[in-house]
Amino acid sequence: MKMGAMKTVYWSTIINICLALSGVSGHRIVAGTVAAPHSRPYMVFLVSYTANGTYMCGGSLIHENVIMTAAHCNGKSITAYVGIHSVSKAEGANLGIHVTKHYPHPDFNDSTLDNDIMLLRLSRRVKLNKTVDLIPYAHSYTNVSVGTACSVAGWGQTTNTSRVSDVLRVVSVKIREIKPLELNARGNNREGACRGDSGGPLVCRIKKVNTAVGVVSWMSPDDCNDQKRLNMYTKVSAYYKWIIATLKEIPQ
């Protein structure tokens, strides 16, 4: 088991979303800034209902009816909020879309978080526009190197006790380590992802195109302020063939 007991997934319990978001202030993505509204139209806010409670995650829209996220974000049912910036002020036709089928990687291990990637099929196709759009994802031959500048966005926490953010936040990070199935990316200090950011994309500029190269997975140690913590992402390029094969099962 790779650091099993020390791994912390980026969950954030929300008994009632509206209550949890009331009075939210301060930073959320660690040491980041508020994203320009709808500047990342591929971002999706997910609410996952499980036997143990209700949780939030992020995700990215890769087809009009398919979302890519982390497998540990799975639940008995999932609702997707597409094309939003503020959760409490969300409005429009693409809100509260039911996920009809979940496709977690068949080799996902919820103890080690190996193969932490999942596709979700929406109950209907969303209409693409200025606030809702797709993001390209890394091909099997997509290469990134240590030091590559990227960004990560989400509605998650900054500390162990902070609430989730009402608005989408973003922070710049750099790839620090590359493994066969994972990437470690963080800023120069404490900048990076925290709880509630799970499933969101690590976005890097590949051949002048913003591309999802990673999926927010886990961190260690369990401290969002630790400047030496690991911020680990599932390496999308390693799962390209599985993504393509799974998409063939999903009616477009």
pLDDT digits (tens, 9 = 90+) for 57-96: 999 999 999 999 999 999 999 999 999 888 877 666 667 8
Distance CA 162, CA 152 (A): 19
Greatest extent of the chain over all pairs of C-alpha atoms, in Å: 45
Q: Which of 12, 165, 198, 217 is catalytic?
A: 198
pLDDT at position 230 is 81
Q: Based on the structure, what is the number of domains in the chain?
A: 1
Q: Is 48 a catalytic residue?
A: no
Please list, in sequence order, all residues whose beta carbon lies within 8 angstroms of the beta carbon of residue 58, skipping any fewer than 6 positions away.
43, 44, 45, 46, 69, 153, 154, 155, 156, 196, 197, 198, 199, 200, 201, 216
Q: Is 198 a catalytic residue?
A: yes
Domain of residue 74: give its range: 1-252
Percent of the chain as helix, strand, coil, to the nearest 5: 10, 40, 50
- Global confidence as pTM: 0.87
For residue 142, the one-letter residue type is: T
Q: Is 85 a catalytic residue?
A: no
pLDDT at position 22 is 35
Backbone torsions φ then ψ of 17, nearest 5 degrees: -60, -50
Question: What CATH number corresponds to the domain at position 209?
Answer: 2.40.10.10
Q: Which of 72, 85, 102, 105 is catalytic?
A: 72
**152-193 pLDDT per residue, tens:** 988 876 555 556 677 888 888 999 999 999 999 987 776 767
The first and second tokens of residue 109, run together, are: 């291990």
Average confidence score pLDDT of the chain: 83
Residues 176-186 as b/e (b if ≥16 CB within 10 A, e otherwise) read eeeeeebbbbb
Look at residue 228 and tell me whether its pLDDT is greater than 90. Answer: no
Q: Which of 116, 162, 165, 197 is catalytic?
A: 116
Q: 237, 140 in Cβ contact below 8 A?
A: yes
